[in-house]
Every structure is written in structure tokens, then in C-alpha cells.
Amino acid sequence: MTDNKYVNEWIRESAELTCPNEIVWIDGSAEQTELLRRQAMSTGEIFKLNEELLPNCYLHRTAINDVARVEDRTYICTTKKEDTGNINNWMAPDECYAKLGKLFRGSMKGHTMYVIPYSMGVVGSEFAKIGIELTDSIYVVLNMLIMTRAGKEVIDALGIDDNGFVKGLHARANLELENRYICHFPEDNTIWSVNSGYGGNVLLGKKCFALRIASYLGRKEGWMAEHMLILGIETPDGDIKYIAAAFPSACGKTNLAMLIPPKVFAEKGYKAWCVGDDIAWLRVGKDGRLWAVNPEFGFFGVAPGTNESSNPNALATTRRDTIFTNVVHDFENNTVWWEGLDNNPPEHAMDWTGKKWNRTRYNKKDTSTYGAHPNSRFTVMATNCPCISSEFNNPEGVPISAIVFGGRRAKTAPLVYQSTDWLNGVFVGSIMASETTAAQAGAVGVVRRDPMAMLPFTGYDMGDYFTHWINMGKKIKNPPKIFNVNWFRTDDEGNFIWPGFGENLRVLLWILARCDDKVDAVSTAIGYVPIAEDINIRGLDGITVDTIRELLHVDRDLWLADAADIEKFYAKIGDRVPRELYDELTALKSRLN
């Protein structure tokens, strides 16, 4: 398919190692894709769902031991250990190639090796980067055809003498947990993934390339790869402003990315547009603003909890052309179901493992009675989404007015606050944290630090990553303003005070008003907090200005305790945490005192 000697040489080497029966190039054509689906159906790798109710939709089940990303088996392999840092797992490149080489050796015997040329970003655009994934899994091929722009036009765009593509090698091998490795060689533009078939470990364009390898490249080349959604807010006059936002998992990122304005705002003409739900690549534009593209082409979203009220846009998106992984199969109707979809679990159904499922045993507190795996997923093209932005395919991306960080904090963080400047904003991102909920194993209320939501996704030392953020600020003439939100403040009975979901628009509108210098704020020890009356609560049941005041309260003692925890966390990251951030911490403490 190509005369590029670097590509052909690398495929030859990889085939020599893995010994596939044949090598098939993925061209992206509808004919080839349909052929692959039929092949995967014939082996039970995917099941076709009800064509009338869920046109062009399929169900896949992973191995039972292979249902999520494996952070403890994910490695960054740089020559010097200190370049990987304390937060990532490290292996020396030679050692890792040798160790995984043994696992890859002969692993594709009797199988086909598929060659998937894909582009992260609009094919041929200045912002885009090309990868090639070699895999023995049709499921991976079908998902990559949704999650990325893939096929012949990509290999044509690479040309015949470009060596600057990311080389991804994936083999399912025996799906052994003890030999599962997801390894990144940022100095070689290479990713090796073996013994997994689960999305986040094997769709190499996503976390592996677009975050870990890309963050490394971004530092080298002067841009940023971030774990951020991109959302456009349109005001009644037709003006659209864009927000990039980072949240740890279980904070409603996909819901925010597909936000539906509350009725009182929709009636006036406010609209929200999704540019991306997971990853943003950010560059300084010629106009001195920060511009963002979503390098992906699809959504790989968590199914449980997605429903007509939590995220009607996501639900509508997945009513066609979707691959569902590890959800409930309603075999009477040949459709799918998951916990939180509705109150009608199917009577005749298989659980995510393919065993007969008894809905009457379902107990919310006992995950062993769940039908769908809590991390079950849908894979679907972003262009299926009713609120997809008209700028989604714009190769230049969109200009970012505000960067929003967030987390799940019961008491500490206010509903929203604004950093005082870029450096202080980097500090706010670096101290991002979420408290564990009853939904997670272990103790409830434990604070987990997750700077910029990048803890498992930064392809180099976290201290260097903070320095890169600080340096980027010096290059942006008109930088976005940086905010922190917390939708999860609770009252003394543990109930959420803020309604969340679409109502979060009310907070985003304050953020955008701040970006336009249209509204004043109160200066506090942690940054600027709204004047309570400036959060529009019209049409919001049960919320008064006093509630907003409570949501905005900054508790000095809680913040002093937090500051002590931040210091410990910085120490764990190591000695490359920039001095400027320690200065920010010291200044915060002195303001609190």
C-alpha cells in the first residue's frame, strides 16, 4: 500500500517477530470494513444487534480478566529513569524490548496482522500526527476505524520518505494478566501492547499515543496534549466561546462535553456544542491565543449511568453505528442494556460475561449482581452526536477562552473559583484532586491527587510537565483564564447541593463573563470567587442566593489541611517540581494564615 521504506521495513521486522499467517492493510473502505465485521461475527468476536432498533450496532465481550486500563502494568521507557519520573512505571528500553519481544515472538501464528494507518487530527492538517497500529484483533480494527481517521488517505498523506509516524504494535497473545504490558518508548515514537484486548490498552491512538507519546512530543515541540474535553457555548447573539476542561474519572466529563442547556436558557437561544469529550491538543495560534483540536474521531464512553436525563445526547449518539463492549445483552429483543439506562432491565438477558442474567437479583450495592460491567463502553463516531460542533473537522481547531479544572470534593473546593493568573492557574491544575466515593473500592473520602487529570497519562516526569505548562504560559500572548469547578459539594447529610448536569451551564456562563471582563468577583485566599448574586439561578428549584453563598464558601481549616497534603504530593513527584509552584503553595498558606 505504500513505498515508504521506513513503514515497510518496520512491518517486515514486526512480522518476523510475531509470525502472522498474512498481513492485511486497512484501507478504510466500507467494503473492507463490512468484510471484517462478517469475519468477526463468524467467530463470535462480535454479535450483530437488532438492525431495526439499533442499526449497524454490535456487541463485544472482552475476556473476564481484561476489562479496564492496567496502570500498574503501563510503562514509560526512557533511557534515563529520571526522565520518566516517580509517578510513572519505568523500564529501560532495551530491557523492555527484550522482555516483551519474548511475549510477541510467534504470537500471531495462525492469525492475520492488520496494518491500520491512522491520523490523530484532520488528515493532512498541520495539527495532525500519523500513527500506524499493527494488531491481530479485528475488534481493534473496527474500533480504530471509529476512534480515528484511518485508511488509505492517511498512508498517502504520510508520503514515501517520512519516518515521523508513531509505531504501535499490539498482540492479544494469551490475554494473560501476569504478562500484560502497555509500554511506551517516547524516544522511539513506539508503543508495544501485549496480552490485552480492552480498549484503553489496545486502541493505541487514544491514551497511548494522543496523551502519553503526544505529551512527550508536545514538550519537545512546544505544544500540549491534555486530558480535556472541548465545549463550545453559544450565546443568543450567535457568538460561540470555547472551554477546555480536565476532570478525573467519575466527575461527569462526557456529560459536560454534551451538555444540554436548561430550558430557561435554551428558550433564550443558548446552545452548547461538543468538540471533544476526552483529549485536546493545544497550540499557540498566530493570533496569540491558545487553539485546541480534538485529535480523535469518536467517543469511547462509559455506558452505565448514561440515560435520557443524564446525557440524552450520548444516548442518541449510540442508537446507531455503535460497538458496545461488556454491556447486558437482551436476547429477546437483541438489544443492549446497562445499569442506569432505565428502570426496565430486560427479563431475558445475558450479563457482560455472556452468562444468563437474573435481573431480580440486582442489588445496587453489590457489583457481582450487575448485568453490565461498571466500565462497559460504547464506541461511536463523534459525528453521530446531535450536538457535535460544526468546528469538529476544522483543521485549525477552536480558540480557547477558558481552561477549567475540576474534581469531586465534598467540602473543600467551592462551586467555582478563578486563578489569579496563568502561573497560579498551573498551580490550581497541579493540585487537582478527587475524593473516593462508595462506588470505588477502599475507603470513602480519601483524597486522590490527579494533576490536570494527567496522572496516568503523562509520558514523562510530572515535575517537567508542570514546568512545560509554566513555559507555555510565557508563549501565549492572550492566554485563556484558568478556573476550578466542583459540582460535588455535599450538605451535612451527604446530599449533593448543586444539581449539576445541564445546570452547570450557569457556572460556565459566569466563567465566560469573567473571560470577557463583564463581571466582578471576590478575592479570597485561593483566588477569585463569584459574588453569589452573579450566578444565575432563575428557574432553578430549591436553590437560593444563600445556597450559592454556601457553595462558594472557602473553609480556611480545610484548605490548610489540603495545603499540607499538596506538599506531600509534590515531594512524591520529586525534585523536578518547579520552584514557582512551591512559591505558589507558600503564598497560599500565608494568605490562609
In the complex with Mn ion, which residue's Cβ is closer, 7 or 231? 231
Q: What is the DSSP letter of 9?
A: H
200's contact among ligand OXD, Mn ion, none, with CB below 5 to 8 A by partner kind, is ligand OXD
Site string for Mn ion, 244-283 (x = CB under 5 A): ----------------------------------x-----
In the complex with ligand OXD, which residue's Cβ is closer, 69 or 73? 69
133's contact among ligand OXD, Mn ion, none, with CB below 5 to 8 A by partner kind, is none
Number of amino acids touching Mn ion (CB under 5 A): 1
Least distance between ligand OXD and beta carbon 180 (Å): 16
Q: How many CB atoms lie within 10 A of CB 580?
A: 15
Residues numbered 275-334 forming contacts with Mn ion, rule: CB under 5 A:
278
What single string gives the DSSP state of each residue in 255-311? HHHT----HHHHHHT-EEEEEESS-EEEEE-TTSBEEEE---SEEEEE-TT--TTT-
CA-based nearest residue to 218, from 490, 454, 446, 48: 454
393's contact among ligand OXD, Mn ion, none, with CB below 5 to 8 A by partner kind, is none
Q: What share of residues in the chain are helix, strand, coil (percent, to 5)?
A: 35, 25, 45
304's contact among ligand OXD, Mn ion, none, with CB below 5 to 8 A by partner kind, is none
What single string gives the DSSP state of each residue in 139-163? HHHHHHHHHSEESHHHHHHH-SS--
In the complex with ligand OXD, which residue's Cβ is closer, 154 or 380? 380
In the complex with Mn ion, which residue's Cβ is closer, 278 or 562? 278
Q: What is the DSSP letter of 47?
A: E
Lookup result for grid cell 514523562: 460
φ and ψ at residue 121, rounded to 5 degrees: 105, 165
Q: Which residue is nearest to ligand OXD (CB)?
A: 278
Query: What is the separation, in whole angstroms, between the first and last Cα of the chain?
Result: 66
Site string for ligand OXD, 144-183 (x = CB under 6 A): ----------------------------------------
Amino acid residing at 167: K
What single string gives the DSSP state of each residue in 174-241? T--GGG-EEEEEGGGTEEEEES--SHHHH-TIIIIIIIIIHHHHHHHHT-EEES-EEEEEE-TTS-EE
In the complex with Mn ion, which residue's Cβ is closer, 278 or 296? 278
- Separation of alpha carbons 219 and 451, rounded Å: 17
394's contact among ligand OXD, Mn ion, none, with CB below 5 to 8 A by partner kind, is none
Check if the beta carbon of residue 372 is closer than 8 Å to that of residue 327. Answer: yes
φ and ψ at residue 527, rounded to 5 degrees: 145, -165
In the complex with ligand OXD, which residue's Cβ is closer, 249 or 524? 249
In the complex with Mn ion, which residue's Cβ is closer, 226 or 351? 226
In the complex with ligand OXD, which residue's Cβ is closer, 141 or 147? 147
CA-based nearest residue to 50, from 285, 283, 271, 320: 320
Helix (H, G, I), strand (E, B) or coil at 48: strand
Enumerate the H helices of 297-401 as residue ranges.
312-317
Q: Which residues are catalytic?
A: 251
Residues numbered 236-295 forming contacts with ligand OXD, rule: CB under 6 A:
249, 278
Check if the beta carbon of residue 350 is closer than 8 Å to that of residue 356. Answer: yes
The reply to whether 333 sits near ligand OXD by the rule CB under 6 A is no
In the complex with Mn ion, which residue's Cβ is closer, 249 or 334? 249
What single string gives the DSSP state of each residue in 81-99? HHHHTTTSEE--HHHHHHH
Grid cell digits, residue 39? 469475519
- Positions in the binding site for ligand OXD (CB under 6 A): 69, 200, 249, 278
- Positions in the binding site for Mn ion (CB under 5 A): 278
